[in-house]
Amino acid sequence: MKRGRAVGIDLGTSNSVVAIIDADGAPRILTTEEGSTTLPSLIWFAPDGPVIGEAAREGLDQAPDVTVFGAKRLLGRRFDHPEVRRLSRTLPYELVESPNGDVWISLAPGKTVSPEEVCALILYELKRTAERFLGEPVTSAVITIPAWYDAAQRQATKDAAQIAGLDVMRLLSEPTAAALGHGAHRGADRKYLVCDLGGGTFDVAAVDLEGGVFEVLATTGDPFLGGDDVDRAVVEHLVRDIRQVKALDVSTDPIAIERLRIAAQRAKHELSGVSTTPIHVAELVQLPSGKTAEYKRSMRRDELELWSAPLVRRLEAPIRDALARSGRKREDVHEVLLVGGMTRMPAVRREIARVSGREPSIVPNPEEVVAVGAALEVARLEGAIEGVLLIDVAARGISLSTNEGDCELVIAQSSVVPTREHRLFPTRQDNQARIEFDIWEGESVEAAKNRHLGKYAVVDLPDGPSGDVLALVEITLDTDGTIRLGASELVSGDRLQIEQLVHTGLTRADVARFARQFAEAS
Amino acid sequence: MRCTTWEQVEVFHTRKLRAGRLLSMKVPFDAEIGAQVTLGLELPNNVVMAIDGVVQKASPIEGDSKTWIEVELAGFTEDVIARIRGMAEGSGPAVEPEPAPPPAPSVRTSMPRVSEEDLPNDERHLFQQLTTELRRMRGAAVHEVLGVESDAGPEAVRRGWMSLVRRHHPDLVARHRAPAISHLAEELTILANRAYDRQRASLVADGRATAIRSALKPPPGWLVGFDDIASNGQRAATATSDVSVKLVEPPKLPVDPNSLQGGEAFESRARAMLSEGDSAHAQEVLAAALCVYPRSRTLRSLYYVAASITALQGGEVMLATSQLETALAHFDSCREASLILDHIRRNGSQRLDDLRRHFR
């Protein structure tokens, strides 16, 4: 197959962005058909085919049980994880357990879809966006992921890309991408603190640039803090105001609330630039008399800041935590980077400046800088940019066990990737044909405290007396932090086959099959 | 058993082994006297030697699942020792698990320091250069891979590793789009990273560096971020948040979604809840339903009916009455609203169980 162009993709929980580097070296964010730079990570499985992005918002109203959002959070997760259990009770769509224990999404009785396929649809839409702009096929991509993604989540992201027909050149951690997009690679050695406050979550990462090498030292965050929470705080105050001024209780009227939320969001955006803005909801609620009530008031920036103050105060703890975990004081940080749309809010900037002790750098396009970083990474891998390198470490340790016994740590947490370790398994019986072993993520001796990644068997061992045949199993964590297995017979050096018995995530065959179906369907 | 330097190998067989072949060690399994065991001896050049032995003594350790054993390493013959020494000297035949690398060169004379010159750009020469460097590094001890002295401090170790990574990292040769070259670069980087991790670990063991623990953790509860209701352990104060996040308790469709059309599925579910007196959940189901069918008058009126029952359960008769009036404003022939209004006139907020039958 002819190799097409490559793009940088920020695959976000709520919004995704695709970017390229122009021929003249300038980054360019590609816009969707509606002319927006961000694509909502939202899919409505409508009766006549999936609807992706902005148009799928209608699905949230019409068929919330088949409109999937936030699939990124489900990637590479197991169904029996307590957090997934909790989540399955609050999501409008139904989560089910796949045959190998992963979490999948049920669209109708007997019809399920894996989170990988959902993400593939989003990636495919971004790929189409890029192809429309470039006028030539796009076949590979750099995709950003949270720095703390474990091996299974990384593999799931790669699988999603493969289903969408994209070859992953590299998985890039989001804080590194942000620093890269900010142009950090052109500057001197620095210690960065990257604060990403988006629609739903707040992420902080300590990133070091030393001699052209980027390293993520620590990540923390608050998963419940974002722009949506500010909107809700504003709406609550508006509801109180309406009760006082108009003697109307709209708190139980979902339609009025939704209209107030839209007005609050618009006011919030405008108040980043001006100090007063009008709020106007023409048809707030229908009165018993049949007439509609209108709501009008002006909103000042200090009101917004007062109302969102409890939320803004929650920025402090994760920042302090990130500094502590990376083992440094706030004076050691050279630059604070603000990423995500919410960092436009002056109150947010002030608070981060207060906590970190320095004026944060203003990124002109905080929503898109991560995608720009991914596009720059493409250029770097293609050799267009030199002198910069990204180092990843294993987010969690990899352990191994045989015969349901204790787990033995093979690759320690925070080992630099790529890396490889091996273990030696002698046969325990004469002419033993196979040796089974389990791979776990985690560093505990007890299997129950680790996460099961899979059960494998070294098969077709050569004949020989007990203990004479030695299987050498090699576990490689590659540059992207995903696991690869290999085996050989120690004495002869012959390669041995490894059979996959149980495996977390999609199997290679599944991925190939989904990719084929995908290519046929589109 | 892992030896990172040739000195350690020497120490292993001259000092650690009693009488040249008796080894005492702690093992994490039950061992019986007379049992056959195999010791994997990992040498600094990544070669693993399998050495057979027989358990001579075994004593379980109290309160631990481990056992002290003494093994007679029958497989540790003069021949094997000579082979290992040969490898250390770089003159003996190599026993390599890797596909046929050449004999390890003398480590004394060829410290594989990172060469200063740039890697060649043309693919054939690059391939040859990387192959040569890989060979050399495979035969070297850990500190030699990093190009530092065996007693180097953390700073020097990091510098040595950094210069290797900056030379060999697979990303640097990705532009060639040649799988063979990428593979060589990855192998070289794996060697460098392993050497770095080992050297760091031994520095930590010697107390010369502090352990580096990865601080890459998902924020707690990252997965449960769709609603903020349980975020700080408290429910949002007003109903506002519940409604604006659209769904609190999601309505699950009945098993056969074809049996009921549109809002009827939600309605029948809510009615079932109301008939059991569970008005709070019914309210949530109806709020969700209204996001889907905002124009349904039945659903709207039923929502306010459910809200009024919740209010009555809290003893708020005034609020309940106003909710019922709103219900009637939305749908003036709402039977349930009229019935409950009658009920309030007669009983106030008493005998609420009587209301259940209206929803059956």
Are the Cβ atoms of B193 and A81 closer than 8 angstroms? Answer: no
Pairing of strands A292-300, A335-339: unpaired
pLDDT digits (tens, 9 = 90+) for B122-177: 888 888 889 888 888 888 888 888 888 888 888 899 889 988 988 889 888 888 88
Q: How many helices (H) and strands (E) does chain A have?
A: 12, 28
Distance CA A476, CA A507 (A): 18
How many Cβ pairs closer than 8 A exist between chain A and B? 248
Closest by CA position to A457, among listed A497, A506, A407, A411? A497
Are the Cβ atoms of A218 and B216 closer than 8 angstroms? Answer: yes
- Tokens standing for residue A472: 């050498």
Assess: ipTM above 0.95.
no
Q: Is B328 domain-assigned?
A: yes
Closest by CA position to A258, among listed A288, A240, A235, A280? A235
State residue B216's pLDDT score: 67
Q: Identify which of A219, A290, A418 has the shortest CB distance to residue B193.
A: A418
Choose between B211 and A299: higher pLDDT. Answer: A299
The domain made up of A394-505 has a fold known as Substrate Binding Domain Of DNAk; Chain A, domain 1 (2.60.34)
Q: Is B69 domain-assigned?
A: yes
Closest by CA position to B37, among listed B73, B8, B89, B82? B73
Within this chain, do residues B243 and B291 fall inside the same structural domain, yes or no? yes
- Residues A281, A295 contacting (CB under 8 angstroms): yes
- Residues B326, B308 contacting (CB under 8 angstroms): no
Q: Could you give the residue ranges of the DSSP H alpha helices within B33-178?
A: 78-89, 123-138, 142-145, 154-168, 170-173
Are the Cβ atoms of B97 and A490 closer than 8 angstroms? Answer: yes
Last residue of a domain, one of B43, B66, B89: B89
Are the Cβ atoms of B226 and A70 closer than 8 angstroms? Answer: yes
CATH code, domain carrying B270: 1.25.40.10
Q: Is B101 domain-assigned?
A: no
pLDDT digits (tens, 9 = 90+) for B227-270: 222 223 333 333 333 333 333 333 343 333 333 445 677 788 88
Distance CA A125, CA A52 (A): 7
**E strands, chain B, in order:** 22-27, 36-42, 48-60, 67-72, 215-216
Supply the residues of A annotated as catalytic.
Answer: 10, 72, 174, 196
User: Which residues does chain A have within 8 Å of residue B96's beta carbon, measured at their own beta carbons?
Assistant: 493
A95 → chain B, closest CA residue: B252
Query: Other CB atoms closer than 10 Å to residue B23's CB: what's the count?
Result: 21
Looking at the structure of chain B, the number of domains it has is: 3
Are the Cβ atoms of B177 and A235 closer than 8 angstroms? Answer: no
Within this chain, do residues B196 and B299 fall inside the same structural domain, yes or no? no
Within this chain, do residues B350 and B251 fall inside the same structural domain, yes or no? yes
Using a pLDDT cut of 70, give the percent of chain B over it: 61
Q: What is the DSSP letter of A427?
A: -
The domain limits of chain A are 5-182+365-391, 227-310, 394-505
Q: Identify which of B193, B250, B290 has the shortest CB distance to residue A92.
A: B250
**Secondary structure (3-state) at A282:** strand
Closest by CA position to A43, among listed A55, A30, A31? A55
CATH class of domain segment(s) A5-182+365-391: alpha beta
Could you list the pLDDT tens digit for every one of the 522 residues in chain A? 457 899 999 998 878 999 998 888 888 999 888 888 889 888 999 988 899 988 887 787 778 788 888 788 888 888 887 777 766 776 778 889 988 889 999 998 888 999 999 999 999 999 999 999 999 999 999 999 988 888 889 999 999 999 999 999 999 999 999 999 988 878 788 899 999 987 767 889 999 888 888 888 888 877 667 777 788 788 888 988 998 888 888 877 777 887 888 888 889 989 988 999 999 988 888 888 888 888 999 999 999 999 989 889 889 988 998 888 888 888 999 999 999 888 888 899 999 999 999 899 888 888 899 999 999 999 989 888 877 788 888 888 899 998 888 899 999 888 888 999 988 888 888 999 999 999 998 888 888 888 888 899 999 899 888 888 888 899 999 988 899 999 988 878 788 999 888 888 888 888 999 999 888 887
The phi, psi pair for A238, rounded to 5°, reads -65, -40
State residue A291's pLDDT score: 85
User: Which residues does chain B have within 8 Å of residue A201's beta carbon, measured at their own beta carbons?
Assistant: 219, 222, 225
SS3 content of chain A, % helix, strand, coil (to 5): 35, 35, 30
B95 → chain A, closest CA residue: A491
User: Which residues does chain B have within 8 Å of residue A70's beta carbon, measured at their own beta carbons?
Assistant: 225-226
Q: What is the DSSP letter of B14?
A: I
User: Which residues does chain A have within 8 Å of residue B269's beta carbon, measured at their own beta carbons?
Assistant: none
Within this chain, do residues B28 and B78 fall inside the same structural domain, yes or no? yes
Mean pLDDT of B311-329: 80
- Residues A462, A497 contacting (CB under 8 angstroms): no
**Secondary structure (3-state) at B209:** coil
pLDDT digits (tens, 9 = 90+) for B342-357: 888 888 778 888 888 8
Are the Cβ atoms of B190 and A466 closer than 8 angstroms? Answer: no
Query: Other CB atoms closer than 10 Å to residue A521's CB: what's the count?
Result: 9
- Tokens standing for residue A290: 């049949």
User: Which residues does chain A have within 8 Å of residue B233's beta carbon, measured at their own beta carbons?
Assistant: none
Q: Is B95 domain-assigned?
A: no
Distance CA A241, CA A249 (A): 10
Pairing of strands A419-426, A15-21: unpaired
Are the Cβ atoms of A257 and B196 closer than 8 angstroms? Answer: no
The domain made up of A227-310 has a fold known as Actin; Chain A, domain 4 (3.90.640)
- Tokens standing for residue B22: 């008796």
| Residue from B158, B213, B242, B244 whose CB has the most chain A CBs within 10 Å, to mutate | B244
- Residue B291 pLDDT > 70, yes or no? no
Q: Which domain holds residue B42?
A: 6-89
Q: Is B104 domain-assigned?
A: no
Q: Could you give the residue ranges of the DSSP H alpha helices within A34-169?
A: 57-62, 82-90, 115-134, 151-163
- B152-157, long-range: CB < 8 A, 24+ apart: B152/B199, B153/B203, B153/B208, B153/B209, B154/B200, B154/B203, B154/B208, B154/B209, B157/B196, B157/B199, B157/B200, B157/B203
- Residues A41, A14 contacting (CB under 8 angstroms): yes
Distance CA A413, CA A366 (A): 32
State residue B185's pLDDT score: 92
- Residues B157, B142 contacting (CB under 8 angstroms): no
